[in-house]
Amino acid sequence: NAGVMQNPRHLVRRRGQEARLRCSPMKGHSHVYWYRQLPEEGLKFMVYLQKENIIDESGMPKERFSAEFPKEGPSILRIQQVVRGDSAAYFCASHKDRSSDYGYTFGSGTRLTVV
């Protein structure tokens, strides 16, 4: 079984450009979470999605950030008009619906660098 796949692994964007980060959850997992990790800091929750629904976006910045998890295809985290402070590692995790296994499976992350 493939794990949680994130791409790209590394992404460089100039200030003002858009960044699109992709996450394909594990097979059979219908819940996706996005976390951000700034340099030398812990992971901060951003958003929790199920297929076609945003369940909890309390950790998302109010502007420039959006996330989706369409019926078909990967979950996308979109950052518009990136700034230097957006430079971070972005991790995606997936979870099985109502499973006795409560462990989340994380991807290897996308490292975004804004220059």
Partner 1 sequence: DAKTTQPPSMDCAEGRAANLPCNHSTISGNEYVYWYRQIHSQGPQYIIHGLKNNETNEMASLIITEDRKSSTLILPHATLRDTAVYYCIVGPGGGNNRLAFGKGNQVVVIP
Give the binding site for partner 1 (CB under 8 A).
Answer: 4, 31, 33, 35, 42-45, 48, 55-56, 59, 89, 91, 93, 95-99, 102-109
SS3 85: helix
Which of 18, 52 has the CB closer to partner 1? Answer: 52
Name the 3-class secondary structure at 88.
strand
Taking the complex as a whole, how short is the minimal distance between the CB of residue 72 and partner 1, in angstroms?
22
Beta strand 65-68 pairing with 5-7: unpaired
Nearer to partner 1 by Cβ, of 12 and 83: the residue is 12
Vertex 32: Cα angle to 102 and 115 (nearest 5) = 125
Element (H, E) at 30: strand 29-37
Q: How far is the CB of 28 from partner 1 (least distance, A)?
A: 13
Least CB distance to partner 1 at residue 106 (A): 3
Tokens of 63: 């502007």
Q: Closest CB to partner 1 among 13 and 96?
A: 96
Q: What is the DSSP letter of 49?
A: E
State the nearest-atom distance from the C-beta of 16 to partner 1, in Å.
27
